[in-house]
């Protein structure tokens, strides 16, 4: 099982606020803490004292602190890649190299005497990780994490993200990516349009971002990039991360019948393996509810994301549940009973044949029902 993480930026907040946030995240099982030394101004002693207090507290909670650095910082603080004692004294679990070296240095860093983890940037799309592997690193201490992008429209697209991730998974390295909190107000940099690895995630609810990562695969750990996420977000993220199967939020039409609600919400759906380009079929509902009545209604033209139930006119298919993947004509034998929530429609492309999932009603709809 992977780990969930939060980010703290001590130079932009107070120890008391960071401490309260660490306590809250710890309560929901979060294990990782990301922080950044990239923007630090000041000497070594000042840097150590301000950060160390927060790092020590996270360590007391059993959390693992990863510190973002770059080669310029080594010069600024008068430290060397072959002596990581500074980070050991700081109490860091590991260091993340925002900008790397040539491969040999990173491999040497993984063999440090303190067991400090070396996390490298996964978002470059180069042969960087292969260069490090050429120098026989200690892979127990070598991790990867994607970048986050404060600038709107500058985040990664899914195909590139997957290609970059695959370069790390072929070596069985631990991987991490970032999600964006909508309650959070700051990150390590002044620019703040949210912080996420995938551009598609910038406006999505945090639980949807997590479900998306779980469905596309290849990512072990997920960290909230900006501070501070709300308790509701931490709770929703933990629930989505530990769920046995994805739960997809849907909106129902007012005309949905009780029998159709049974098909949608009482069943565990299984995506039929002999897939169609037009619809995702969950066929067991027609067996489970074969004796129920499904009169025709809402036989409107079908759009992508629509929830469909075959009505009495479809004979043996009566009661089968489907999700439309493409627009289709409706000859009157299919009831359109609802739609995947707009912000979860991104998940449709990543549900895999033979996989199981649940449909859950959007909270606002549930209250009206």
Every domain of the chain and the residues it spans: 4-243, 248-368
Residue 276 has which token pair? 């169609």
Per-residue pLDDT at 39? 65
Residue 365, pLDDT above cutoff 60: no
249's enclosing H/E stretch is: strand 247-252
Q: Are 143 and 168 in contact (CB under 8 A)?
A: no
Domain 248-368 - what CATH class? mainly beta
Per-residue pLDDT at 263? 98
228 prior amide bond cis, ω within 30: yes
60: number of Cβ within 10 Å: 11
- For residues 357 and 341, what is the distance between their CA atoms, to the nearest angstrom? 15
pLDDT tens sequence across 136-189 = 999 999 999 999 999 999 999 999 999 999 999 999 999 999 999 999 999 998
Fold of 4-243: TIM Barrel (3.20.20)
- Average pLDDT on 271-296 reads 97
Residue 347, CA distances (Å) to 72, 87, 195, 247 in order: 40, 40, 20, 10
Residue 348, CA distances (Å) to 162, 294, 301, 341, 343 in order: 17, 26, 19, 11, 11
- Average pLDDT on 32-57 reads 83
Residue 82, CA distances (Å) to 112, 114, 116, 339 in order: 8, 12, 12, 56
Q: What are phi and psi of 174, to 5 degrees?
A: -65, 140
pLDDT tens sequence across 124-142 = 999 999 999 999 999 999 9
Tell me what the pLDDT averaged over the chain comes to.
94
Residue 368, pLDDT above cutoff 90: no
Position 71 confidence tier, pLDDT thresholds 50, 70, 90? confident
Position 364 confidence tier, pLDDT thresholds 50, 70, 90? low
Query: Within its chain, how far is the Cα of 296 from the centroid?
Result: 40
Q: Are 4 and 237 in contact (CB under 8 A)?
A: yes
pLDDT tens sequence across 194-217 = 999 999 999 999 999 999 999 999
């Amino acid at each position: 099982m992977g780990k969930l993480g939060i980010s703290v930026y001590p130079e932009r907040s107070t120890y008391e606020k960071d401490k309260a946030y660490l306590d809250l995240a710890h309560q929901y099982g979060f294990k990782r803490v990301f922080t950044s030394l990239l923007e630090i101004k000041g000497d070594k002693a000042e840097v150590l004292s301000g950060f160390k207090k927060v790092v020590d507290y996270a360590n007391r909670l059993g959390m693992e602190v990863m510190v973002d650095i770059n080669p310029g910082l080594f010069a600024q603080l008068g430290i060397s890649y072959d002596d990581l004692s500074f980070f050991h004294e700081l109490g860091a679990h590991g260091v993340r190299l925002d900008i790397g070296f040539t491969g040999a240095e990173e491999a040497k860093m993984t063999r440090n005497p303190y067991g400090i983890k070396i996390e490298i940037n996964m978002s470059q799309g180069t042969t960087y990780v292969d260069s490090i592997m050429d120098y026989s690193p200690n892979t127990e201490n070598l991790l990867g994490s994607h970048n986050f992008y404060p600038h709107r429209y500058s985040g990664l697209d899914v195909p590139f993200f997957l290609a970059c991730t695959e370069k790390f998974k072929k070596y069985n390295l631990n991987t991490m990516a970032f999600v964006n909190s909508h309650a959070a107000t700051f990150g390590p940099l002044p620019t703040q349009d949210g912080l996420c690895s995938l551009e598609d995630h910038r406006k999505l609810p945090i639980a949807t971002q997590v479900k998306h990562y779980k469905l596309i695969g290849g990512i072990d750990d997920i960290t909230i990039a900006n501070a501070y996420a709300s308790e509701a977000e931490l709770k929703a993220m933990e629930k989505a991360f530990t769920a046995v199967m994805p739960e997809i939020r849907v909106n129902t039409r007012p005309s949905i019948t009780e029998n159709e609600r049974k098909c949608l919400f009482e069943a565990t759906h299984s995506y039929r393996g002999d897939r169609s380009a037009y619809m995702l079929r969950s066929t067991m509902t027609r067996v489970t509810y074969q004796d129920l009545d499904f009169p025709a209604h809402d036989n409107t033209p079908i759009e992508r994301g629509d929830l469909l139930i075959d009505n009495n006119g479809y004979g043996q298919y009566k009661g089968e549940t489907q999700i439309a993947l493409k627009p289709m004509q409706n000859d009157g034998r299919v009831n359109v009973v609802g739609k995947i929530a707009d912000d979860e429609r991104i998940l449709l492309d990543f549900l895999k044949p033979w996989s199981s999932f649940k449909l859950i009603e959007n909270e606002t709809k549930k209250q009206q029902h």
